[in-house]
Amino acid sequence: GTKKKASCPGLGLFYTILSAFLFSVASLFLKKIEDVHSVEVSAFRCVFQMAFVLPGLIYYKTGFLGPKGKRIFLFFRGFLGSTAMVLLYYAYQVMPLADATVITFTSPVFTSLLAWIFLKEKYSLWDLLFTLFAIIGVILIARPPFLFGSRVTGIEGSYTEHVKGTIAAIISTVSAASTIVILRKMGKSVHYFLSIWYYAVIGLIGCVIALFVLNEWRLPHCGRDRVFLILIGLLGLGGQIFLIKALQIEKAGPVSIMRTMDVVFAFILQILFLNHLPTWWTVGGALCVVASSSGTAIRKWRHSVKKAKQREI
């Protein structure tokens, strides 16, 4: 459908930058929290999302289960989306902030690949090239010893934790890409509030079960950490709202490109507040991933513009 025109030029891109900043600050607070498991943080985030979405479901009268033929898709969207969130939060806790953020930006590349496999969308040589760029970027960040030697520098904690965080970030990214493919499959037949509702409910149920199994459920001892938990929920929710508003008044291509500001903010916040200077390997990996995700976004944008012109003719 047609996008609504913004009340002022560039408003959609400004919303995108604001969304990226809010997500980055939420990630910073996550790094600052002590002794709280990533699953518990995810549970708090789900509670905030449910509190936000519930009035919308009542107002739009969408129901809580969705159309019968779409419920299985909604379930997998919720399961994969919440899995992506938990694994991403874990990666933020055990990896440098910039490293984990950069890996998440390989999502457009995985989305193109999965859309080609499951939705039979076109996958060109350019897409393959961008995929290779993304893989090179992840390798530069992970820095496996068999390629970079036994002395790996610029990581937080042990290298084992760094590898676990890298694997978690990659699985999170693939899960997030899968949710986008599922949303494309459902199309516009399901209200986006209902999609977020499934994401929050299934995520909360899964997090509570995981916390009992892991025996990790506990409130933070420090009052500062409790404030951080609330802020993470509010900032994550605010980031989602501004991203949705940006997509409502701006084309998806420019929004996807501008979202790479999240990487810039991650580098700045990591240097200013975590006293952790990124290595040149991380910078090189970030450039590869940003080039890959931006190239994918530009190609999709040009393709959509071309199709729109053909429909007009």
Give the per-residue pLDDT at 152: 66
**Whether 110 contacts 173, CB under 8 Å:** yes
Average pLDDT in the chain: 82
Give the per-residue pLDDT at 130: 86
Average pLDDT (141-156) is 69
Average pLDDT (142-150) is 68
pLDDT digits (tens, 9 = 90+) for 126-136: 888 888 988 89
Buried-exposed string 25-41: b where 16+ CB fall within 10 A, e elsewhere: bbbbbbbebeebbbbbb
- No. of helices (H) and no. of strands (E), the chain: 13, 0
pLDDT digits (tens, 9 = 90+) for 99-117: 888 898 888 888 888 888 8
pLDDT digits (tens, 9 = 90+) for 155-206: 766 788 888 899 999 999 999 888 888 877 877 677 777 888 888 899 999 9
**Whether 247 contacts 11, CB under 8 Å:** no
Give the per-residue pLDDT at 154: 63
Give the per-residue pLDDT at 70: 82
The structural domains of the chain, with segments of one domain joined by +, span: 11-310
Give the per-residue pLDDT at 149: 61
Give the per-residue pLDDT at 199: 86
* DSSP character at residue 68: G
Average pLDDT (253-261) is 76
Average pLDDT (224-237) is 85
The Cα–Cα gap between 218 and 125 comes to: 50
Helix axes 192-214, 71-94, angle to 10 degrees: 50
